[in-house]
Structure 1
Amino acid sequence: MASHDDDDGRPVQDEHLIRAGYALDGDDGCIADARQQALAFLDQAEADYPLSVPARTRDLTQLVVSELVTNACKYAPGPVLVELRINTRAVDVVVWDSDPTVPAARATDPDRIGQHGLEIVKAITEALFIF
């Protein structure tokens, strides 16, 4: 179990209460499947632990999963692996694909059509503590 000091110096436990992983084949329905898997994961966390996952957290988790899986399916051939983890402070979303290059968000450009997925994920996750 890992821990670190919180802003006020108290130790905070980083152990995840529940984690789940699954593989997607990258077909047309995999993004919708990933969103459903994320909701099922959050439902299971609420059922098994004394957590209440707010609607906003559900929506943002689905959005992050959707954007990351979309990016993986669009730019990397082959299967996509998703891992979800939750503790009392945060939901972690990890997505793996076959491309060895780590994706990076492009500079903000309101005139660009498309390719804003990582910008969206970055904006949501930069300073967000869900719980």
Structure 2
Amino acid sequence: MDEAALGSDQQRRTKEQLPLTSAAYEGRPADIAHARGLARGFLGQVQAQRGLPLSRRVMDGVQLVVSELMTNACKYAPGPCMLDLRLTEGSISITVWDSHPVLPVAKAADLGRVGQHGLEIVMAVCQGFEVYREQAGKRTTASVMMADDSDGDVTGRTIPEPARTWRRS
């Protein structure tokens, strides 16, 4: 087999084997901490198996987003929820499915408001955010970029707000 074919085969296997971690939860408050632990383990797996160095910003950001999305699922959706963590090209994708069909709405910034800042936090940390209504419930996906420049800022980010996509299906 020539080197070009070997390289192509190796790239295809690499894309097929991108790490994915999933877990189902009952929607209890204790599940939030379990989900953060799952995220830490997943990030460790990405570093160990892929040899990808992840900055403190990425490590903390992914765990924060997992915590906020799982908190919303456990607080506002009755019953079970699911968490998927996936390594994509250049980012970590965090998806939470819950049983509540109502799409979240980001509130206007209000420093006097106590609580309900989770969605604001997620949007500030992530470079991508999507919410889809499902046949049962909804699926929320956020992505945290892995590349940092020397100052710890996300490479290539030219606007202060993250990209947001709201879709209804």
Both structures adopt the same fold (TM-score exceeding 0.5): yes
Give yes or no for contact 1:17–1:86 (8 Å, CA) kept in 2: yes
Structure showing greater radius of gyration is 2
Give yes or no for contact 1:23–1:81 (8 Å, CA) kept in 2: yes
**What is the CA distance between 1:60 and its match in structure 2?**
0.6
Give yes or no for contact 1:61–1:91 (8 Å, CA) kept in 2: yes
How far, CA to CA, are the matches of 2:49 and 2:127 in structure 1? 28
Give yes or no for contact 1:22–1:81 (8 Å, CA) kept in 2: yes
Give the count of matched residue pairs. 118
Identity of aligned residues (%): 46
Hey, what does 1:35 align to over in structure 2? 36
Note closer, same or farther for the CA distance 1:129–1:28 as it changes in structure 2 (3 Å cut).
closer
How far, CA to CA, are the matches of 1:92 and 1:19 in structure 2? 9
Hey, what does 2:111 align to over in structure 1? 110
The answer as to 2:93 corresponding to 1:77 is no
Note closer, same or farther for the CA distance 1:16–1:123 as it changes in structure 2 (3 Å cut).
farther
Hey, what does 1:99 align to over in structure 2? 100
Alignment of 1:1-131 (within 5 A): 17-126=18-127, 129-131=145-147
How far, CA to CA, are the matches of 1:16 and 1:70 in structure 2? 29
TM-score of the superposition, structure 2-length normalised?
0.64
TM-score of the superposition, structure 1-length normalised?
0.82
Note closer, same or farther for the CA distance 1:87–1:51 as it changes in structure 2 (3 Å cut).
farther
Note closer, same or farther for the CA distance 1:56–1:16 as it changes in structure 2 (3 Å cut).
farther
Note closer, same or farther for the CA distance 1:16–1:64 as it changes in structure 2 (3 Å cut).
farther
Deviations 1:8-32 (A, max 9, x none): xxxxxx8772111111111231111
- Secondary structure (helix, strand or coil) at the match of 1:77 reads coil
Unmatched 5+ residue regions in structure 1?
1-13
- Secondary structure (helix, strand or coil) at the match of 1:26 reads coil
How far, CA to CA, are the matches of 2:69 and 2:40 in structure 1? 16
Give yes or no for contact 1:17–1:85 (8 Å, CA) kept in 2: yes
Q: Higher relative CO (CA 8 A, sep ≥ 6), structure 1 or 2?
A: 1
Give yes or no for contact 1:51–1:88 (8 Å, CA) kept in 2: no
Give yes or no for contact 2:35–2:66 (8 Å, CA) kept in 1: yes
**What is the CA distance between 1:57 and its match in structure 2?**
0.8
Unmatched 5+ residue regions in structure 2?
1-14, 129-143, 148-169
Give yes or no for contact 2:127–2:145 (8 Å, CA) kept in 1: no
